Amino acid sequence: MHKPAITQVPIDSTLANRWSGRAYDASKSISHEQVIALLEAARWAPSCFGDQPWRFVVWNKNTDAATWQQAFDCLVPGNQAWVKDAPLLLLVCADTLFTHNQKPNRFAEYDTGAATENLCLQASSMGLMAHQMGGYDSDKARATFGIPEQYTLMAMVSVGYPADIATLEGEALARETAERVRKPLSELFFANTWGKPV
């Protein structure tokens, strides 16, 4: 399913075509080389002091189905209903401390979001679909995978090849076929002072 963003002026096609779909092709796997390409895209995101506070735990169903299942079990049921066909799951974490001085890094979550978006855009450029999710049990994920308290668990991401939307039903199908909407530019971006639309 192709759902490009409807923009006021043209933007790069990789950006316009990126969207968080839910219909994954269960018959198509993701290779190790593809995984590395996704992670390289994340690795080259900008960060404060070049600190690179992001950490990703990666589960590939086709190389280790058991740990993929453990990650899947951390998702809320509503996400499990459609993530079941995604071959790749990732958990995105942010280091709360700077590496160079061990002081609190208030930019860590911002920088980690940039790395995650890089990964999502890379996925789109490769004909893959990435979907970021907040619907998971972070305490369970931390305990299951031994994630130190120093790291904030941000999101889980599913990645795979898109499939026909006929593979979906119920709420997942309704959300998949809904129109893509964004707030108008005037609500989000201001010229010179707060509240004055660009």
* C-alpha closest to that of 119 among 91, 139, 99: 91
* C-alpha closest to that of 7 among 190, 162, 180: 180
pTM, to two decimals: 0.91
Helix intervals (H) in 1-76: 13-17, 32-43, 65-72
Cβ burial of 46 (10 Å; 0-12, 13-18, 19+) is exposed
The CATH H-level superfamily of 24-171 is: NADH Oxidase (3.40.109.10)
| Beta-ladder partners of 159 | 88, 130
> What is the residue whose two structure tokens read 């809904």?
178
Q: What is residue 125's predicted lDDT score, i.e. its pLDDT?
A: 96
> What is the rounded distance in angstroms from the CA atom of residue 138 to the CA atom of residue 145?
11
pLDDT per residue of the chain (198 residues) written in tens, 0 to 9: 678 898 999 999 999 988 888 999 999 999 999 999 999 999 999 999 999 999 999 999 999 999 999 999 999 999 999 999 999 999 999 999 999 999 999 999 999 999 999 999 999 999 999 999 999 999 999 999 999 999 999 999 999 999 988 788 788 888 888 888 889 999 999 999 999 999
List the domain boundaries for the chain: 24-171
